[in-house]
Amino acid sequence: MNQLIEGLPPASRASLLALCEPATLRLSEVLGEAGALTTHVYFPTASFVSLIAELDTHHRVEVGMAGREGMVGMQLALGLRHDPLRTLVQGAGAAWRVPANAFRQELARNRALRERLLRYAAVLMGQRANAAACMRYHEIGPRLSRWLLMSQDRASSATFPVTQEFLAAMLGVRRVGVTGAAVALQQRGLIRYHRGQLTVLDRTGLEAAACTCYAADRRTYVELMADPASDGNAHGAAAAQPTTSAQHSDFTAEGSPPPGMVSGLQRPDAKRPARRH
């Protein structure tokens, strides 16, 4: 179940669910383009989406994620009708989908939904402000660790598909920078990358390697979304820890992404150097 929906009072939850239709989100599917009219909102239940800011066709960076803790299309709750960001499915799976017009009508009559989504809007503002500071001051390694933890939380699995190209684009760095940071994490036994599949081997170690922004984002969600009606589990259970095994590393400076992996993004140019927090 999506946690935004689950945290609603029973009557409000039933009213919203009556409008929801099941949807299966495909890997790399684009749900919305910046500036385009919003046609649907999505409440992921077993999928997650990257929220991407684009300066031009060659410069783009991830500014947030939405999984079962959140939604895609939050702008409708703020009275807007167009997508502010590009939304790209990073983790395939199930979601609830509601047509935009029906959702606006529901907001008008469902006070509990409005109030809960306003709290979620505050979460997003805090997390995006944190992301901006993180990009400016933190090094690639800690930022990569944070991104992997965020993805694992939403994938509910220690293993998920990703390409080096996609990682570089989402972090706003050169691919060679991601490669170096990932190799360092592998050498420490924290992750394994093989044939387009990344596995978190040591979550505790990866949390220690991540910048402070990861814990800050989780804390922001818990503090702002907490109320008597909430389910009390803001991010879900941690994924099971896999057994470490020495396998061939696929983190290389060159090479094509495996079929079906999230890709198709232009590699961004180098950004300003990051600093260790």
Which tens digits make up the pLDDT trace of 34-60? 999 999 999 999 999 999 998 877 788
The whole-number average pLDDT for the span 176-181 is 94
The Cα–Cα gap between 92 and 69 comes to: 16
Q: Which of 137, 117, 17, 25 has the alpha carbon at shortest distance from 75?
A: 117
28-37, 153-162, 197-206: segment of lowest average pLDDT? 153-162
Q: Would you say residue 217 has pLDDT above 50?
A: yes
Domain 3-225, classified CATH 1.20.810.10, yes or no: no
The Cα–Cα gap between 52 and 65 comes to: 9
Q: What angle do CA 168, 169, 170 make, to 5 degrees?
A: 95
User: What are the domain boundaries of the chain?
Assistant: 3-225
Which tens digits make up the pLDDT trace of 87-140? 999 999 999 999 999 999 999 999 999 999 999 999 999 999 998 999 899 999
Q: Would you say residue 75 has pLDDT above 90?
A: yes
Q: Would you say residue 259 has pLDDT above 90?
A: no
Kindly report the average pLDDT of the chain as a whole number: 85
The whole-number average pLDDT for the span 7-34 is 97
